[in-house]
Amino acid sequence: MPHAEEMAAIGEQRLSAIFEIARLLAGQHDLETMLSRFLSCLIATLRAAETGILLLYEPEQDWLVVKDAQGYDLRVLSQIHITSGEAMSGRALQSGQPAVYPDPAAIAAVRANMSPTNQRLFEQATAALDGPQCAACVPLIAGTTRVGVLILENRSEPGHFREDLPFLEAVAQLIAVSIEHTRLREELQQVRALEEANRLKAELISTLAHEMRTPLTSIKGFSTALLLEEATFDAPTQREFLTIIDQECDVLTDLIHDLLESSIIDAGLLRLELQPVRLERLARDTAEDFARRSSKHRFLVDVQLPIVDADPHRIEQVLRNLVDNAVKYSPGGGMIVIRGTVEEKQVTISVSDQGLGIAPEHLNRLFDKFYRVDSGLGRHVVGSGLGLPIARTIVESHGGRIWAESRPGEGSTFYFTLPRPIDEE
């Protein structure tokens, strides 16, 4: 029996463990972090506990899966699926009762009904260790919900854990409630994100229908006019009508292209074909192309960058999208600057305009799918709200980053980085 001082020290340690767990409960950690902290905290607090395993119950499959383990190879253990009644943890799940296994014989007896696959994986995960001498196994139950099972083991000597059981039961309840709480919070976040995506999608469908109808109406109008038998148009007028039809077809093509691209990326089908790319040439070609199309804007290209490994078509797509936006969202014209800077590990390309700018609350969300800012332009700006999310996926697939800086009324600058190839000198 431990004497008074020792008892006081044990009491203090347990209290601090409960505080630590309560602190974890209050903090908004993700489930994985929380589980590993729980286990570390218990192993640090309980003298008898040297190794441990935390399993969570997955109701759809009706089994327990190892989510954290200390003293074991977690990668191997996480392949184990324990059914109700199987071994120590399955039994605790089934009975809802904690148990102490005081010696190796008791542990071997309870593990005897483990499936051969689990047995093999278990042996593999503990290959480097001596077998446990005693163990405690406590079910984690939040209210009436079975959440999981906690196992703590001592590998040095038999006979521990019996006096720890009331403390472990109390802690197990706290842990179970925190796990359930975190799970519910994560589920809620997912549901909210899904709802927001659905809302934006529904909005996009109605916006796109509208966006497509506008060019279609003018294509239909001008082609019907050209086909009218009772009206004849002189050559310049015919040319004017055909030019409008041609431009409106481009608008439609761009919209459909964005939609297709986005669904390709969603399906995980973005494939990059990396090759040495001269960004300067790419930037110049893009600027020249846009300069031909917009007389209101002046273009400046200041890009002297080393060659990078990238997919030239995809990077051109990103650059074009940024320049296209710079033109679209600076309806009064102005200067558009494409600039390149080089650092040790990356190059950064920026596209600045002197246009409408973006309010700070929108800045981070521009790269979300379907997100569009009401530009405040009297005239409607055609777009799908997919250009920047596509650009982000492309840049991130290259290992780069994309972001925007802006002040409303003073223009915007969009930046993206690409990693530089590792120097082989």
Query: Shortest distance, CB of residue 413 to ligand ADP, whole angstroms?
Result: 8
Which amino acid, residue 221? G
Output 148 or 387, the one with its CB closest to ligand ADP.
387
Residue 215 binds ligand ADP (CB under 6 A): no
Between 29 and 362, CB nearer to ligand ADP: 362
The Cα–Cα gap between 276 and 421 comes to 10
Please list every residue from 370 through 399 that binds ligand ADP, using CB under 6 A: 372-373, 375, 383-388
* Shortest spacing between CB 335 and ligand ADP, in angstroms: 13
**Chain residues 237-276 in contact with ligand ADP, contact rule CB under 6 A:** none
Closest by Cα among 362, 339, 313 to 417: 339
**What single DSSP character describes residue 366?**
G
Least CB distance to ligand ADP at residue 337 (A)? 12
- Eight-class DSSP state of 85: T
Question: Tokens 């148009």 label which residue?
Answer: 233
Nearer to ligand ADP, 89 or 412 (CB): 412
Q: How many CB atoms lie within 10 A of CB 175?
A: 27
Pick between residue 297 and residue 372 the one whose CB is nearest to ligand ADP: 372
Q: In sequence order, which residues have a C-beta less than 8 Å from that of residue 217 and are 6 or more positions away? A: none
Closest CB 41 distance from ligand ADP, rounded Å: 45
Smaller CB distance to ligand ADP: residue 263 or 304? 263
- Could you tell me if 145 and 56 are in contact, meaning their C-beta atoms sit under 8 angstroms apart? no
Burial of 170 (0-12, 13-18, 19+ CB in 10 A): middle
- Only one residue has tokens 């120590």, namely 88
| Pair 316, 391: CB distance under 8 Å | no
Q: Packing angle between helix 165-227 and helix 4-26, nearest 10 degrees?
A: 10
CB of 213 to ligand ADP, least distance (A): 16
Select 383 or 400, whichever has its Cβ closest to ligand ADP.
383
Q: Which of 66, 204 has the CB closer to ligand ADP?
A: 204
φ and ψ at 81, to 5 degrees?
-125, 115
Integer Cα distance of 291 and 118 in angstroms: 67
**Contact status: 416 vs ligand ADP (CB under 6 A):** no
Q: How far is the CB of 326 from ligand ADP (least distance, A)?
A: 5
- 420 beta partners: none
User: What is the rounded end-to-end Cα distance, in angstroms, of the chain?
Assistant: 68
Both tokens of 92, joined, read: 């605790």
Ranked by CB distance to ligand ADP, the top (closest) residue is: 383
CB of 137 or CB of 336, closer to ligand ADP: 336
- Nearest-approach distance from CB 313 to ligand ADP, in angstroms: 18
Chain centroid offset of residue 104 CA: 44
Query: How far apart are CB 96 and ligand ADP at their closest, in Å?
Result: 53
Quick one: 277 or 366, whose CB is closer to ligand ADP?
A: 366
- Beta-carbon contacts of 251 under 8 Å, excluding residues fewer than 6 positions away, are 215, 382
Applying CB under 6 A, what is the total number of residues that bind ligand ADP? Answer: 19
Mark residues 348-367: x for contact with ligand ADP by CB under 6 A, - for none.
-----x-xx-x-------x-
Q: Which of residues 290-329 bind ligand ADP (CB under 6 A)?
A: 321, 325-326, 329
Provide the 3-class DSSP secondary structure of residue 141.
strand
- Interface with ligand ADP by CB under 6 A: which residues? 321, 325-326, 329, 353, 355-356, 358, 366, 372-373, 375, 383-388, 412
